[in-house]
């Protein structure tokens, strides 16, 4: 993606990692239709490039994202307009969640509303000690509408999810870690996320994508059906060149060099 004056999301290659930065710091990286379109375009680039094997997503300045652009919402003329806006955001977050390339959110500051939903669509989440998480839409007479109510209730204890949704009050990084929203809290969150991304990028891409799919899809299935899906999926992985390389490297006591085949 080439730089432009109206670019609000940057894609930068860091080795095998795609670093995506929401760049609207003066508005706390509020998410508008332009952000949605540019994230969709960035995923086109990432999914078409086999050399990019992990995604790190962060925000410029002191925020990850304060959520949906309220000024854009205020210009919407009714429920149908709002539904179209939210569907665009939901669709691109669903695409990020389903992307075969593993994603890591580097939450460098507040993640509210749609910004929290953006982080929830990533596979893994790291945060700085100053990060805060919340869904304050109830204070606007609304609720999260880009899968926030559903991803929160699947990730958190039900009472915690309801508290966040019904009060709109945020939680800090420590509590988010305690509840399992985060994988870790670190000072240099972008550096740590890039290091994690590079470590993941060194793994076998098909197995990473399969692990993601088995967890996400398996949770929606009866246990017996999910176990069958697991067995069939792993049997397919047994036919890959990366499985041959992994076992050879183990027997030869050397690091594997996965080629993505």
pLDDT digits (tens, 9 = 90+) for 13-27: 999 999 999 999 999
More confident site: 22 or 78: 22
Please state which CATH number belongs to domain 205-251: 1.10.12
Catalytic residue among 47, 72, 137, 245: 137
Cβ pair 55, 20 in contact under 8 A: yes
User: Domain ranges in the chain?
Assistant: 9-201, 205-251
pLDDT of residue 74: 86
Distance between CA atoms of residues 16 and 51, nearest Å: 6
User: Helix or strand or coil: residue 20?
Assistant: strand
Q: 185: Cβ–Cβ under 8 A, 6 or more apart, which residues?
A: 126, 127, 128, 129, 131, 173, 174, 177
| Structure-token match 């002191």, residue found | 62
| Structure-token match 């305690």, residue found | 178
Catalytic residue among 7, 117, 169, 198: 117
Task: Please return the burial class of 18, using the count of CB atoms within 10 Å of its CB with bins 0-12, 13-18 and 19+.
Answer: buried
pLDDT digits (tens, 9 = 90+) for 38-63: 999 999 999 999 999 999 999 999 99
By DSSP bridging, strand 171-172 and strand 9-14 are: unpaired
Q: 194: Cβ–Cβ under 8 A, 6 or more apart, which residues?
A: 14, 17, 19, 56, 106
Cβ pair 105, 124 in contact under 8 A: yes
Instruction: Judge whether 9-201 and 205-251 match in fold.
Output: no
Q: Is 51 a catalytic residue?
A: no
- CA 47 to the chain's CA centroid: 15
| Secondary-structure class of domain 9-201 per CATH | alpha beta
Query: Taking the model in full, what pTM does it have?
Result: 0.94
- Number of continuous H segments (helices) and E segments (strands) in the chain: 11, 10
Q: Is 137 a catalytic residue?
A: yes
Instruction: Name the band, by pLDDT with cuts 50, 70 and 90, for residue 1.
Output: very low
Distance between CA atoms of residues 207 and 123, nearest Å: 14
């Amino acid at each position: 993606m080439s730089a432009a004056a109206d670019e609000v999301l940057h894609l930068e290659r860091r080795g095998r990692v795609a670093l995506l930065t929401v760049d609207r710091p003066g508005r706390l990286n509020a998410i508008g239709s332009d952000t949605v379109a540019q994230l969709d375009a960035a995923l086109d680039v990432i999914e078409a490039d086999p050399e990019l094997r992990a995604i790190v997503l962060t925000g410029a300045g002191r925020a990850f994202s304060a959520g949906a652009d309220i000024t854009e919402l205020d210009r919407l003329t009714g429920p149908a307009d709002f539904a179209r806006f939210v569907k665009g955001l939901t669709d691109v977050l669903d695409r990020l969640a389903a992307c075969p390339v593993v994603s890591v959110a580097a939450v460098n500051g507040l993640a509210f509303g749609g910004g929290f939903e953006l982080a929830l669509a990533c596979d893994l989440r790291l945060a700085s000690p100053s990060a805060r998480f919340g869904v304050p839409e109830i204070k606007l007479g609304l609720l999260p509408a880009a899968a926030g109510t559903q991803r929160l209730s699947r990730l958190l204890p039900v009472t915690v999810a309801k508290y966040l949704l019904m009060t709109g009050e945020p939680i800090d990084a420590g509590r988010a870690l305690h509840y399992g929203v985060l994988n870790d809290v670190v000072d240099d969150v972008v550096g740590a996320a890039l290091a994690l991304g590079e470590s993941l990028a060194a793994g076998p891409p098909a197995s990473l994508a399969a692990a993601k799919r088995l967890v996400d899809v398996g949770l929606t299935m009866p246990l017996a059906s999910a176990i069958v899906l697991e067995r069939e999926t792993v049997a397919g992985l047994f036919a890959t060149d990366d499985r041959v390389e992994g076992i050879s490297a183990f027997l030869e006591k050397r690091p594997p060099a996965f080629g993505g085949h």
